[in-house]
């Protein structure tokens, strides 16, 4: 079947996709390569390049061959080399044309959702598992990066990175020392648990101090937060050519003692008493004034993306950043998706400020998503797609939403015209910088 690329908005010149591990290696290891799977990705990559679109490939976006899942999960270090073997097959098969690689998508989120909350396979409910899973995912990433460096980089001249989830975090009371400290703990545990090791070779000192002390208080002889030996520290430190940056929303942070009344606490854990979430000793929540998407966790907070980009710049040496996910959910049947349009307008404005005003080293941006997709446990009940997909049509007809037309205009002229919207907008948003045009490279604030 030919690859259809007629739904790319405007001058879009990059497409992020993931390569399915079970589709390429159905047995899990490299003993049998499914050529039909390789051929599918070859057709996709070739079609992208023929149309001037850069392929940005993710090697692991959480799908694992059943043959491996029956023996191992990410609590087992055996997966590190199995993943490295899969990455080698990907580099060897596609690296002559794919020059931008992401090893693993959102290690922390994968660890929490699959091994603590237990919503995704292997459906484990263990608040103490997160550290071990992240530890092995970091090893897998570093092993794949160093393997590419040793075997493929000279001939293929590509770049390899990793995509991190990155929530905006702000103190509930910016004048409160307790809230500032609670927010710093949240930064170090949520973003620092992966970003700090790949930049500096070890976990954040604050995170190490807290977990080590709590482990000791619990009577444990070994910290719940594993250590990297010197060999792994050397492998992990600097194991990126760019960092992928997935961003959607923001959270306010205070201490449990100062938690506001009648506000739902955000807990990404099966336990509020022990484990990764409890170790942070904070209370995270959403401001009730922030507009909400179809997904409860997604709030309209455009200033937060600029804040997190500056956090990367200030804490991690201003690495090259590619925004690999950013988007807004709505109902599937909504075509005039003005809520999503507003979201992209405001968030892109903040990304441009981060680049042109703050000097953040952002080199790329990917919207989530081009088409309606299966949104994990939400299935098809919500949509992030710039294009509606008719699932009842055998050819899966695509219909561009208002947001797709808007982004096509932005990509075509690198700016935006004033948009006069009807009163039937899908979301009533009156928010920060909503009506300010996008900054051009010669403008600042």
Domain that holds residue 254: 14-413
The alpha carbons of the chain give a radius of gyration, in whole angstroms, of: 22
Residue 418 is predicted with a pLDDT of 33
- Give just the sign of the alpha carbon dihedral 64, 13, 320, 204: negative
User: Has residue 421 been placed in a domain?
Assistant: no
What CATH code is carried by the domain that includes residue 289? Answer: 3.20.20.80
378: pLDDT confidence band, cut at 50, 70 and 90?
confident
Asked whether residue 9 is assigned to any structural domain, the reply reads no
Contact residues for 23 (Cβ-Cβ < 8 A; gap 6+): 34, 37, 40
| 435: number of Cβ within 10 Å | 11
Separation CA 110–CA 137 (nearest Å): 9
Which of 235-239, 245-249, 394-398 is predicted least confidently? 394-398
Determine how β-strand 168-171 pairs with β-strand 283-285.
unpaired
Q: Is residue 420 part of a domain?
A: no
Report the pLDDT averaged over residues 160-186: 98
Residue 67 lies in a domain: yes
pLDDT 10s digits, 44-59: 999 999 998 999 999 9
pLDDT at 419: 36
pLDDT-wise least confident of 89-98, 207-216, 271-280, 423-432 = 423-432
The answer to whether residue 1 sits within a structural domain is no
The whole-number pLDDT of residue 420 equals: 31
pLDDT band at 346 (very low <50, low <70, confident <90, very high): very high
Task: Establish if 427 belongs to a structural domain.
Answer: no
Q: What is the distance between the alpha carbons of residues 425 and 403, in angstroms, rounded to a whole number? A: 12
Question: Which of 37-41, 79-83, 141-145, 347-351 comes out lowest in average pLDDT?
Answer: 347-351
Question: Does the pLDDT at position 275 exceed 70?
Answer: yes
In a domain, 404, yes or no: yes
Q: Do the domain assignments include residue 425?
A: no
- Torsion of Cα atoms, 166 then 171 then 177 then 183, to 10°: -20
pLDDT digits (tens, 9 = 90+) for 356-375: 899 999 999 999 999 998 88
What is the β-pairing status of strands 283-285 and 242-246? unpaired
**Per-residue pLDDT tens for 394-415?**
999 999 999 999 998 887 765 4
Residue 34: name the closest of 81, 83, 75, 93 by CA. 93
Q: How does DSSP classify residue 445? A: -
Question: DSSP readout, 388-445?
Answer: EE-TTSTT--EEE-HHHHHHHHHHHHSS-------TT-SS----TTTTSPPPPTT---
Active site residues: 106, 325
Domain count, the chain: 1
């Amino acid at each position: 079947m030919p690859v259809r690329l007629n739904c790319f908005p405007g001058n879009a010149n990059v497409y992020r996709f993931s390569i399915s591990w079970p589709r390429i290696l159905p047995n899990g290891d490299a003993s049998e390569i499914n050529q039909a799977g390789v051929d599918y990705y070859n057709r996709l990559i070739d079609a992208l390049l023929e149309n001037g679109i850069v392929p940005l490939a993710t090697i692991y976006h959480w799908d694992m061959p059943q043959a491996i899942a029956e023996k191992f999960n990410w609590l087992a270090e055996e997966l590190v080399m199995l993943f490295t073997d899969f990455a080698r097959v990907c580099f060897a098969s596609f690296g002559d044309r794919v020059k931008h690689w992401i090893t693993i998508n959102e290690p922390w989120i994968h660890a929490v959702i699959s091994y603590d909350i237990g919503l995704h396979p292997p459906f484990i409910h263990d608040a103490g598992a997160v550290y071990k899973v992240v530890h092995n995912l970091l090893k897998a990433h570093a092993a794949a990066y160093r393997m590419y460096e040793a075997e493929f980089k000279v001939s293929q001249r590509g770049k390899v990175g990793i995509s991190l989830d990155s929530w905006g975090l702000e103190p509930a009371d910016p004048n409160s020392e307790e809230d500032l400290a609670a927010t710093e703990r949240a930064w170090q545990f949520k973003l620092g648990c992966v970003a700090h090791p790949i930049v500096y070779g070890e976990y954040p000192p604050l995170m190490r101090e807290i977990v080590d002390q709590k482990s000791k208080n619990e009577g444990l002889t070994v910290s719940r937060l594993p250590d990297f030996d010197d060999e792994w520290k050397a492998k992990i430190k600097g194991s990126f050519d760019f960092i992928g940056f997935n961003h959607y929303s923001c959270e306010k942070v205070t201490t449990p003692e100062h938690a506001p009344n009648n506000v739902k606490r955000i807990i990404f854990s099966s336990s509020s008493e022990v484990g990764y979430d409890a170790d942070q000793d904070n209370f995270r929540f959403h401001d009730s004034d922030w507009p909400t998407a179809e997904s409860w966790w997604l709030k309209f907070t455009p200033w937060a993306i600029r804040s997190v980009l500056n956090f990367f710049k200030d804490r991690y040496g201003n690495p090259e950043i590619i925004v690999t996910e950013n988007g807004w959910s709505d109902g599937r049947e909504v075509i005039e998706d003005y809520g999503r349009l507003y979201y992209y307008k405001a968030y892109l404005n903040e990304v441009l400020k981060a680049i042109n005003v703050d000097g953040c080293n952002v080199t790329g941006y990917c919207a989530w998503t081009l088409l309606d997709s299966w949104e994990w446990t939400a299935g098809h009940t919500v949509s992030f797609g710039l294009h509606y997909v008719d699932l009842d049509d055998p050819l899966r007809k695509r219909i561009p939403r208002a947001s797709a037309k808007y982004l096509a205009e932005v990509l075509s002229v690198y700016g935006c015209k004033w948009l006069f919207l009807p009163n039937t907008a899908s979301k009533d948003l009156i928010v920060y910088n909503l009506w300010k045009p996008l900054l051009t490279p010669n403008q600042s604030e």
